[in-house]
Every structure is written in structure tokens, then in C-alpha cells.
A and B are shown apart, each in its own frame.
Chain A
Amino acid sequence: MHSAFDRTQLPDAVSEESSQRAVRRSSSERQLRGLSGQALPLWRDHIEHLQKPVDWQLQGTSSWINLVNGRDGVAPKGWKPDAES
């Protein structure tokens, strides 16, 4: 079986059954992801990125055209998540 199908190998492999969850959580071998960058997923940057609010004016328009002309990259003027406070 491919490891991706073995739920016990996945970081979100927490069973719906709480009794099983408890067993898995007590496993000492399981590596803690998120610690010191170890075993962090490739998409960590995406996890950390704070998405700008959705522009609902684009609803129903072509995402490809918006990507090409940069319209989908426009954020509200007051949106400055990295600004110094």
C-alpha cells in the first residue's frame, strides 16, 4: 500500500474514533511536525501566507484573464499585513 493511503503515516491521521486517536497520540515514535522546521511540508510558505480578502467583483470573471492582467493580485488599499504597527 502506498504510504499516502496509510492514514497513520499522514500528519492529519487522526481517527474519527477518539479511542484510536488516543492510541495514536501516545505513540512516542511519531515525529512532531512543526517543530524546528523538521519534516515540515513543502507548502509551509503557503500555510504562513496571510491571504488578502477576496475581491467579490471578480466573481464570474475569468481567473486566467485576471491572472494575466494582474487584476487578481490587487488588494484593498488598507490591506497591509506586513506593515509595521
Chain B
Amino acid sequence: MPSPSRLAGLLRDGRFVVTAELSAANSADPEATWRRAEVLRGSVDAINCTDNTGAHVHISSLAAAHLLVEKGLEPIMQLTVRDRNRLALQADLLGAAALGVRNIVLMSGDDVTAGDHPEARRIYDIDSMQLVEVAAGLRDRGTYLSGRKLEQAPSFFIGAVENPFAPPLEFRPLRLQKKVRAGADFIQTQLVFDVPIFARFMAMVGELGLLDKVFIIPSIGIPRSARGARYMKEKVPGLHVPDSLVDRLEKTAAARQADEGVRIAVELVSAVREIPGVAGVHLIGIKWEEGVVQVAEAAGLLPRPTFSPRASVGGHG
């Protein structure tokens, strides 16, 4: 079997990890994916390959993840239940493992109405929690959902997502607990712009005794412009962007808004890093990998560890 998850090793070693989202290419040329990914090399520990993010078609997460493996970069393959039934999901998971993908993040996916194919049929044969359990079954029991045995079980570091800002807020930790019980090893959250609410979420997660069972990695967005921040505030469901943040960017001259966005992201990284249980940050610069590098540097997250920590997968530690 190819090498196991380095991300898992870093987290189990207690390192504060940095992951980032790769802007998915709209190109059949692998160079388009590699060009963006190379920007992130050395600045992050692993790179998320999105699965038709925002319900817009892009290169498949499986293909993008494999392209990263080819270049020695560690991918985190996202997989949604929106576009595939249980056969296709398991086939892609097994195929990803065979291609060297070790980290996966399993999620529902944005509804098709959010994208450019709103007329498409939603699949949702199983839900995201069930997919976590199915992936754990492939890994831990070496069986498909049907019960049929695999010849070789995959070794996945299983991730899921959670939104601390979606009401009812008090139920989100319970939902997270359910994902942990299903087999999630790490969680990447929705974008955190409101730190007090996120801190309260983490406190509730701690009270449920989950902080020693799962690694929680909040997502930090890097707003590039006031317009972008306002769009996120008004148009993106499940996202809470405080007025003060939008105001701050709108009061900044257009030419300096990107720099101000980096400063905001750095402040957010510093703030969430103080919250007990936060195991790292997931940086998202929408179509702006250079912004990720700027934030990583300004937040003191560089250099990233170059060693390969003890390597194993499955379970929290």
C-alpha cells in the first residue's frame, strides 16, 4: 500500500495543521490544476480538492486529488452524496485509495439550485452521515455496504464537515457527535467569521467529550474584496458574516481591500488558535491561492513541518 496520511500523523503529533482549498480547474489540462496547487506547496500540510463546489461543475475531486498525489502534494478529497448513489460513492472511495488518496472529507454538498445546473437531479441515495459510516466500514471492517468483503481495505483518514452557525445552534455539537460516532477522525467547519459563536460551539463540543476523539479544523475565509464579503453575507446560505467585517472592507479603498482581507484572515487565525480544541486551520481564498500563502506567512504558520510523522490512519489516535 502507498504511504499513509501525513496529515493524520501531524495531527496526532499535536502539530497545528494548515490545510487549504484548491480552486477546482475547468480544464482538461492537468497543468491547470498543478499550477494552482504549486502555489500552495510548502505553505500548507494538505490541500482540499472540492467536489463540484457550489454545485458548479469542475474537474472531479478524484482526478484532482490524484494529480496532486502525482506531484507529491497531499490531497484531501471531498466527496458529496449529492451526485452519486451508494455504488458510485464506494467505487470512488476505493478508487481514490488505490490512487494514493488517504484523506477524505465527506459531505452533503450544496444543493443543485445553488449552481449552474439547477435543473439537475439530486441523488442523496445515502446522506453524509451514512457515507461516513460506509467509509469507516470499508476501512475498519473491509466490507462494502452490502456486506461483501474487500480484498484489501483502504486506509483512510476520514473527515466530515460541520456548520457551527446553522440554527439551531445548540444541536450542531450533537450532529458533530453523531459524525464522530459514525467514524469521522477530523472535522473541517464552515467558514468562521464570528469567533464568539464558534468559541461557544467549541465549548459545547468539549462538554460532550469530543475534543479527544476528533480533530477540529475551522475554515478561515480570505475576503478579497468588499463586494465578495457582501456577497457571502447576503447570498451564501449557512454563513454568518458580521456587519462589522463587511463595513471594514467597504471603508477600505478598493486597491487595498485584498490586503485588508488578508489582515482580517490573520486576525481570525490568531483568534481561533486561542480556542481550546482547535487543531489547525483550513484556509480558503476563493480562486486566490496566493492569498492563502500570504495569510499563512503573516499568521506565523510557516514554515510547515517537512518531516513525515508517525504514519497511521484510522481512529483519532
Contact = CB atoms under 8 A, between A and B. Distances in A.
Interface of A: 10-14, 18-19, 21-22, 25, 32-36, 44, 47-48, 50-54, 56, 76-81, 83, 85
A76 B145 CA distance: 6
B170 interface: yes
A80 B200 CA distance: 33
A83 B141 contact: yes
B133 A18 contact: no
B182 A78 contact: no
A18 B147 contact: no
B130 A51 contact: yes
Contact of A50 (B86, B182, B197, B200): B182
Contact of A32 (B125, B181, B183, B204): B204
Nearest to B204: A34
A14 B147 CA distance: 43
Given A11-B168, A50-B182, A18 B243 contact: yes
Contacts of A80: 137, 141
Contacts of B147: 76-78
A11 B170 contact: yes
A85 B136 contact: yes
A35 B208 CA distance: 7
Given A10-B168, A44-B174, A51-B129, 12 more contacts: A19-B243, A21-B240, A22-B243, A32-B200, A48-B177, A50-B129, A50-B182, A52-B130, A53-B126, A53-B145, A78-B141, A81-B133
Nearest to B201: A34
A33 B174 CA distance: 10
Interface string B27-42: 0000000000000000
Contacts, number: 99
Contact of B173 (A18, A34, A81): A34
A50 B146 contact: no
A53 B171 CA distance: 22
A48 B314 contact: no
B144 interface: yes
B121 interface: no
B207 A35 contact: yes
B110 interface: no
Contacts of B86: 53
A33 B171 CA distance: 8
B316 to A, nearest CB: 11
Contacts of B207: 34-36
A14 B314 CA distance: 37
Nearest to A15: B167
Nearest to A56: B125
B170 A34 contact: yes
A79 B167 contact: no
Contacts of B141: 78, 80, 83, 85
B262 to A, nearest CB: 24
